[in-house]
A = this chain, B = another copy of it.
Amino acid sequence: MNPYVLKYGGTSVESIDQIKDVAKRLAERKSLGQDLVVVISAMGQTTDQLLELAASISETPDRREVDLLLATGEQVSVALLSIALKTLGVNSVGLTGRQAGIFTDDVHTKARISRIETDRIRQHLEAGEIVVVAGFQGVNENGDITTLGRGGSDTSAVSLAAALGCTCELFTDVDGIYTVDPKILPEARKLDSISYEEMLEMASRGAKVIETRAVEFAHKYKVPVIVGLSTGDYPGTLIKELDETMEKRVVTGISVDEDCLMVTVNTVPFESKNIAKIFAAISGENIMIDMISQTAPYNSFVNLTFTSKIEDRFNIKAILEKLKAEFPTIDYVIDDSVIKLSVVGIGMVSQSGVASALFNLFAEHDIDFYQVTTSEISISYTLNAYDRDKAVHMIASAFDL
Q: Which residue numbers of A lie inside 8 Å of B, CB to CB?
A: 16, 19-20, 50, 53-54, 56-58, 61-62, 64-66, 68-69, 71-72, 75-76, 78-80, 82-84, 86-87, 93-94, 96, 98-99, 120, 143-145
Contact = CB atoms under 8 A, between A and B. Distances in A.
Q: How many copies does the complex hold?
A: 2
Nearest to A70: B79
A69 B65 contact: no
B83 A75 contact: no
Nearest to A20: B57
Contacts of A66: 79, 83
Given A57-B16, A57-B19, A57-B84, A69 B76 contact: yes
A196 B71 CA distance: 39
Nearest to A61: B83
A79 B69 CA distance: 5
Interface residues of chain A: helix, strand, loop or mixed (majority): helix
Contact of A83 (B57, B83, B143): B57
Closest 3 pairs between A and B when the two form their complex, measured CB to CB = A69-B79, A72-B72, A68-B79
Contacts of A62: 82-83, 86
Contacts of A94: 64-65, 68
B86 A53 contact: no
A53 B90 CA distance: 19
B82 A75 contact: no
A130 B93 CA distance: 34
A82 B68 contact: yes
Nearest to A82: B65
